[in-house]
Amino acid sequence: MNKSNKQIVLVTGGSSGIGRAIAVELGTEERFVYVNFHSHEKKALETCRLIEDNNGKAEVVQFDVSDLKASEQAVKSILKKHGRIDILVNNAGIRRDKLMAWMKELDWKNIIDTNLSSFFNVSKFIVKNMISKRFGRIINITSTSGQIGVAGQVNYSAAKAGIIGATKALAKEIARKNITVNAVAPGFIDTGMLDGMPMDEIKKMIPCARLGTVEDVSALVGFLCSDKAGYITGQVIGVNGGIV
């Protein structure tokens, strides 16, 4: 077992976009970051390089967050090596937008499995470890879509709303064990997730009149993982330019 005093961090979906920015934000000298990916290994390795350029330490870990057994195996492998996971960021997510009348069952199932069931799949085994260590930070990345609903995103809105409910419930279950559980709800952030969306029209809807950056989100996650945020739990904090 590696008995380093560094905090052990797992960021799911850390190969690009918000996940990459979060992994880099958390990749300080005091932490060792595991960058999860499903299929984009080169991008995940690039995230690790960016962390190491900032004097941090990182390693990629491949598994499908929608697969319970694969998630369990990956988490137990990290726990076997380090004995703990101090910080978990449930970020992995996908979109399959379509009006519900024309939505296929697979469009529904894939989104729920990847965006919501993944929370259970990954967190379940880590929570047990955090309880035994009496410390932990869990950050779940939800969305304004889960707060207000978005036409064409019934599947995505349902999954992200589920994350909000799960965050609040789990926070109450384990707060006495010095474990905080919070959700960050980004609005329109400038990433590949916005591909194909009408950007000019979207910007008109945002009071700040611009898209958010991945760093806008990662800075908040960094704070929530810090000692200064030890009394903040069960909260959903928006990063949305005032749209919600």
pLDDT (mean) for 101-120? 97
At 1, the pLDDT band (50, 70, 90 cuts) reads very low
Burial environment of residue 242 by CB neighbours within 10 A (0 to 12, 13 to 18, 19 or more) = exposed
Range of 215's domain?
7-239
User: Out of 37, 119, 125, 156, which one is annotated catalytic?
Assistant: 156
Residue 201's pLDDT band (cuts 50, 70, 90) = confident
Task: State the total domains in the chain.
Answer: 1
Q: Is 34 a catalytic residue?
A: no
Q: Per mean pLDDT, which range of 111-125, 170-184, 199-213 is the poorest?
A: 199-213
pLDDT at 222: 98
Name the residue type at position 182: N
> Residue 78 maps to which CATH number?
3.40.50.720
Q: What is the mean pLDDT of the chain?
A: 95
Residue 1 falls inside a structural domain = no
Whether residue 186 is contained in a domain is answered as yes
Average pLDDT over residues 164-192: 96
* Confidence (pLDDT) at 3: 60
Residue 106 belongs to a domain: yes
pLDDT at 2: 53
* Angle at alpha carbon of residue 160, lines to 154 and 162, rounded to 5°: 100
